[in-house]
Amino acid sequence: MLMRPSFFAATCKSLAALGFASGLWLGMPSLADTERDFILNEQGALTEEDERLDNGRYVDFFELVTEANQNLVILLGSDDFDSHLFVFDGEWNKIAENDDFRGSHSGLVLENPNGGLIHIVPTSHEPDTLGTYFLTVRETSELENINLAANRLADAANEFYQEGSAIALRQAEEKWLEALALYRNVGNRAQQASVLSSLGFIADSLGEKEIALERYEASLALHQASENRYGEAIVTNNLGHVYSTTGNKQKALELYKKSLVLLREVGNRQWEGSTLNNIGAVYGALGEQEEALKYYEESLPVLREVGNRQGEARTLSNVGSIYDVLGERQQALDYYGQALAIFEEISDDGGKATALNNIGIVYDDLGEDERALEFYAASVPLSRNVGDRLGEARTLSNIGVIHGERGEYEKAVEYYLAALPLLEAVGDRGGEATTLNNLGLVFANVNRPERALEYYEQALPITRETGDRGGEATTLNNLGLIYEKQGDVAQALAYFEASLRLSQAIGDRSGQALTFYNIANLERQRDNQEPAIVAIESAIEIIEDLRVTVASPELRQSYFATVQFYYELYIELLMEQEAKSPNEGYAQKAFLASEQSRARTLLDLLAEANADIRAGVEPALLQQEKKQLALLDQVEQARFLVFSNPDSTAAAQQEADEKLAIATTAYKELQDEIRRSSPQYAKLKYPEPTSLKTLQQDILDEETVLLQYSLHRDKSYLWAISQNDFVSYELAGAQTLREAIEAVRQSITSIRTGLPPHLERRQTQQRVAAIATLSDLILRPAIEKLDKKRLVIVADEDLHFIPFSALSLSGQEYNPIGDRHEIVNVPSAATLDSLRAQNIKPIQPDASLAIIADPVFNEKDCRLESDVDTCENQITDPAPTFLASNSLNNLALKRSAQGFDDVNWDRLLGTRTEAKSILDLVNQKSQKTFDALSFEASKDLMTGDRLQDYDLIHVATHGFLNTVEPELSGIVFSLVNENAEPQNGFLRLSEVFNLKLNASLVVLSACQTGLGEQVKGEGLVGLSRGFMYAGVPRIIVSLWQVDDAATAEFMTRFYRLLIRENLTPAAALQQTQQQMRTETEWQHPFYWAAFILQGDWN
């Protein structure tokens, strides 16, 4: 498995303190020398007789003629007022000033290379202030001249530093080292501390972490000795950055928080904002996203208050990283875009490189790897230009990940090898070990175990050297896989067991689960089924516990998809054992394992982390649950850090265990309270497989059989369950089924009309043959159990894309099973159980109906200029309004539409005909109806409360499917209002989940509304799931885009059977499909098989 550590996308570091001359350093001549060497020694007073400036200050004036290179020490002191000293040249150009030498005194060292007349002006800091003062002027001593030379070197160093390139940084380092030597000669401890801090920052920037630590520690000691709290705060912050970038996050957090306290003591808002950002970054790296956001949100207003544009941009970029982790990718792009704009404005190439890298990661996550590569390619040269080798290495590694995901292993290796020496040079040992592991994984994937072994064995000592016991456990696990592949079972098992012990010692439960899986797989190869089953059950127990600790719904969904292979192996082991020992309950356990892997289907379907899908539960209780879950996350992470620390004591480990036990108990108690408050919500959030007894006795009736599929590489499985029977079957492997499924879908959807008779016959024969092949593969084994019963289909993988009503078990005679069977689709038996818990009522003959159809997509629609509702647009397929707008809502629609083939944005006039025909049927029975056509077909109508009183809701418009990012799927309503003004008409999937509907049936008469992203463990994540969770127990959707006229005829017949004949939705759908095939011109399954019923059948 390729790894792309999240820190590659994360924090920009804060700048070190670079101010050198905040105070005046003076040599210590003797009192006699001081008195003898005074050029000017005056006692004066500011009185009302003195000249008064416009700002209200009283001033005195002194003139002094100086020689070239006569450097001066000028001191102004007063016990009566806060003094302020100015120095001007002979032309009254200001050349120096100071007001804060010591207390109320002012002073400065004046470098005077040209000599000539100077004006010395003593005054007060505040207006209207009077009192006496002392003014002295003397030449600098030899020590003070050395100090001035050091200052000149420091100024030159700062100029090199501002250039930012790697070469310039080395030049800055050289100048600062020279300055440091001079400051040490004269004993200027304040400047030594400042220069050491700057040198530490240079070393940190160039990746020389150990040198950076030495310099920062030396600087810190000097600041502490002189009780310089501000300097101590800055250096402490910078030490935190070094520890953070070398992987010691807990130490970094400790230092950052110490720095924050000091900065608040001295009142430095500038650095307070930066340190808040840094603390947020550490929490983000620790996976505590909510805590990270809290600190970022506290940091931003501070940085804006003080005008720190660079800090603001870095914090915006970090907020983007958090939203990316949470799956809110549009918000991530928005924040990264804001950061990039500021970096460009202030010409910060290093910041631009980081922002471009982060944007690339988002696009890679979205599946747009070409766009990602474009951003990565723009980032790399910027990192090189500023000498950010760590940033360069991380982006190169990210490029390698993309090539690895594409199977372009040679390129992946090329980029990993380019990143590796950079990581070595900057001392990022953790990144180095990760990259070596990635290289090992690549060579393992191309079946070169000896090279993989070489890289793993390089990574292993690094993980041990750095104390990274989690990385060590991962590497040991990878080594075990290599020895397993080479057939050395004993050695493989030894590595797995060593990895498991280490994972258990540090509390890495994910690592434990993976190693248990590998042990189970190894025992399976040794034909030790029972030990294999025990090991995989241990792994799944951990997976079940870990799933509920993931706070973000999107992350929980993604996480569960990544662990489906555990359940797949468990099912295979149980079914293999069933073959060896029939009738001992292994098949039943396999079915329950399949249910366990699917029972989360209605909870975490949306990628939007903050969707409100908790209707029916007290808000206070849900808020309490959120806080308790966040606490549990923090306690678990803290425990992991304790156990990961090789220096942690037994007492500390025991305390961490006790805290976790307390937090876990509290969380479980809260789950119980939520279950009592809302059984449906609790079941969806914390699903438990429906037992066979419940399924057979309480859910299935005597006229129904449930067919549940589980597709696997070598063998697939089918369980046929009725009230009184349970039978399992072995089917062909997943690839064979996928090919047959694709052949059927292509033969149905690739319809060609107007063919010559012989070609049409050939096309029909090919379609019938393809259908027969698939039907034999997935239905014929259970044919004796079907009879004429209703079929409840729990599909898996590509089976979701097939309308079972179009299948046939009659060989070359096409007799679709939909003629004999009502067919209903559900995500899982547990979902059906949950729906039944709502006490679903049958649809009544007088059911009320709302229809939304024929929306307006653009400002060129004829309805904007015509009063005729049925006018036809003169422009074919005009560009929709959203193409001209870059609002976030319209960007979502743009991105969704990019993946939608052959979108026709012309008016959907057929949907108006469809709506009118349905309304005519209903109105004849004097039922309550409501129709929203044209401009009234708006998103606001769907999201408001207008539709809550309707039993039936019919929506006829464009539906969008995005299989990469399901949150971009949705339904399009009117995009312009009556005044031709753009409006948000895109109802996104996350918003569907938040609808409050009481409808018994929703019909989505739109393109591909029955499809969605296929997510392992979830099935299809799409619109129908959103409506089901919004409270709708039955949804009719389509699997492909159907002809307008055929759809209008189909829907008219369906509602006639549903309303006039009072049939159930399942029966009405079955008879409509049969009528379309036998009584209309639309006999091809393309026209009638697309529509499927999901949910309850009654």
Average pLDDT for residues 872-891, to the nearest whole number?
A: 49
3 state DSSP class of 709:
strand
Residue 751 has pLDDT above 70, yes or no: yes
Structure tokens at 702: 């005597």
**Tokens 């041990």 belong to residue:** 464
67 close to 115: Cβ distance less than 8 angstroms:
yes
E strand intervals along 521-649:
none
What are φ and ψ of residue 42, in 5° steps?
-120, 140
Tell me how far apart the alpha carbons of residues 926 and 1059 are, in angstroms, rounded to a whole number. Answer: 12
The beta strands (E) that lie in 788-920 are given as 790-794, 823-825, 849-853
Write out the two tokens for 773.
């092949």
List C-alpha distances in Å: 27 to 140, 143, 145, 188.
8, 6, 9, 9
809: CB partners within 8 A, 6+ apart: 772, 775, 776, 779, 780, 783, 815, 817
Burial letters for 478-509: b for 16+ Cβ neighbours within 10 Å, e otherwise? bbbbbbbeeeeeeebbebbebbbebbeebbbb
Both structure tokens of 1006: 């739109």
Residue 811 contacts residue 754 (beta carbons within 8 Å)? no
802 pLDDT more than 80: yes
Supply the Cα-derived Rg of the chain in whole angstroms.
Answer: 37
> Coil, strand, or helix at residue 908?
coil
Q: Angle at Cα 527 formed by Cα 523 and Cα 528, nearest 5°?
A: 55
List, for residues 444-494, the tens digit of each pLDDT value: 889 999 999 999 999 999 877 765 676 788 899 999 999 998 989 999 999
Question: Are 821 and 901 contacting, i.e. CB atoms less than 8 angstroms apart?
Answer: no
Burial class of residue 788, CB neighbours in 10 A (0-12, 13-18, 19+): exposed
- pLDDT for 649 equals 81
Burial state string for 923-945 with b = 16 or more CB within 10 A and e = fewer than 16: eeeebebbbbbbbbbbbebbbee
More confident residue, 728 or 813: 728
Q: Which of 585-589, 885-889, 893-897 has the highest mean pLDDT?
A: 585-589
CA 357 to CA 4: how far, in whole Å? 13
Residue 70 CA to its chain's centroid (Å) = 63
Cβ atoms of residues 373 and 356 within 8 Å: no
pLDDT band at 622 (very low <50, low <70, confident <90, very high): confident
For residue 33, the model assigns a pLDDT of: 41
Half-sphere exposure of 307 (CA within 13 A, CB side): 0
Q: In terms of pLDDT, which residue wins out, 965 or 421?
A: 421
pLDDT mean over 984-992: 74
DSSP per-residue string spanning 169-231: HHHHHHHHHHHHHHHHHHT-HHHHHHHHHHHHHHHHHTT-HHHHHHHHHHHHHHHHHTT-HHH
Most confident of the following: 119-133, 828-842, 860-874: 119-133
Is residue 67 scored above 50 in pLDDT?
A: yes
Burial call 168-180: b when 16+ CB within 10 Å, e when fewer: bbebbbebbebbb
C-alpha distance across the termini of the chain, in Å:
46
pLDDT at position 912 over 90: no
DSSP string, 484-547: HHTT-HHHHHHHHHHHHHHHHHHT-HHHHHHHHHHHHHHHHHTT-HHHHHHHHHHHHHHHHHHH
938 near 984, Cβ under 8 Å? Answer: no
- 599, with CB counted inside 10 A (0-12, 13-18, 19+), is buried
The whole-angstrom separation of Cα 453 and Cα 491 is: 13
d(CA 790, CA 620): 43
Integer Cα distance of 183 and 165 in angstroms: 26
* pLDDT of the residue at 961: 63
Instruction: Give the alpha-carbon dihedral of 651, 655, 661, 667, to 10 degrees.
Output: -170
Contact 880, 873 (CB under 8 A): no
Q: What angle do CA 1070, 1073, 1076 make, to 5 degrees?
A: 150
Using CA atoms, how far residue 634 sits from 286, 524, 637, in Å, is: 9, 37, 5
Asked whether the beta carbons of 873 and 906 are under 8 A apart, the reply is: yes
Alpha carbon distance 1032, 1038 (integer Å) = 17
DSSP collapsed to 3 states, 747-789: HHHCCCCCCCHHHHHHHHHHHHHHHHHHHHHHCHHHHHHHCCC
DSSP designation for 51? E
Contact residues for 359 (Cβ-Cβ < 8 A; gap 6+):
333, 336, 337, 340, 375
- pLDDT interval class at 688 (50, 70, 90): low
All domains of the chain in start order, with CATH? 9-20+147-302 (1.25.40.10), 33-140 (2.60.120.380), 369-598 (1.25.40.10), 619-642+652-685 (no CATH), 693-821 (no CATH), 849-1041 (no CATH)
Interatomic CA distance for residues 612 and 629, integer angstroms: 17
Q: Highest mean pLDDT range out of 1-15, 222-236, 851-865?
A: 222-236
pLDDT confidence of residue 534:
94
State the DSSP code for 467.
T
- pLDDT at res. 349: 92
Going by pLDDT thresholds of 50, 70 and 90, the confidence category of residue 1015 is very low
**Residue whose token pair is 């029916």:** 616
Q: Cα(502)–Cα(496) distance, rounded to whole angstroms?
A: 10
SS3 791: strand
Q: What's the token pair of residue 74?
A: 């000028």
Would you report the helix, strand and coil content of the chain in percent, each value rounded to 5? 55, 15, 30
- What pLDDT, on a 0 to 100 scale, did the predictor assign at position 63? 93
Question: What pLDDT is attached to residue 514?
Answer: 87
Q: Which residue has 């708006």 as its token pair?
A: 938
pLDDT of residue 25: 47
Q: Quote the pLDDT of residue 357.
A: 92
Q: Give the pLDDT confidence score for residue 145 in this predicted structure.
A: 86
pLDDT in tens, 248-266: 778 889 999 999 999 999 8
Please name which of 554, 561, 567, 560 lies closest in space to residue 596, comparing C-alpha atoms: 567
Q: When comparing pLDDT for 909 and 114, which is higher?
A: 114
Task: Write out pLDDT tens, residues 690-711.
Answer: 788 888 998 899 999 999 999 9
Mean pLDDT to the nearest integer, 618-644: 66
Beta bridge pairs of residue 35: none
Q: CA dist 738 to 190, 743, 746, 1016, Å?
A: 73, 9, 12, 15
Interval 735-764 mean pLDDT: 87
1043 — pLDDT class (breaks 50, 70, 90): confident
What integer best gives the mean pLDDT of the chain?
Answer: 80
Confidence of residue 1016 (pLDDT cuts 50, 70, 90): very low
Task: Note the Cα 657 to chain centre separation in Å.
Answer: 30
The Cα 261–Cα 253 span in angstroms is 13
Q: Would you state the pLDDT for residue 793?
A: 94
pLDDT of amino acid 618? 72
pLDDT score, position 820: 94
With 60 as the cut, is the pLDDT of residue 888 above it?
A: no
Percent with pLDDT over 90 in the chain: 39
Instruction: Please state the separation of Cα 244 from the chain's center in Å.
Output: 21
Q: Are residues 19 and 230 in contact, defined by beta-carbon separation less than 8 angstroms?
A: no
pLDDT of amino acid 746: 92
Among all chains, which residue has been given the structure tokens 């975490």? Answer: 604
904 vs 841: which has the higher pLDDT: 841
Task: Name the pLDDT band for 754 (thresholds 50, 70, 90).
Answer: confident
Confidence of residue 644 (pLDDT cuts 50, 70, 90): low
Q: Kindly indicate the confidence band of residue 536, based on its pLDDT and cuts at 50, 70 and 90.
A: very high
Residue 411 CA to residue 838 CA, distance in Å, equals 54
- Rounded Cα gap, residues 155 and 855, in angstroms: 67
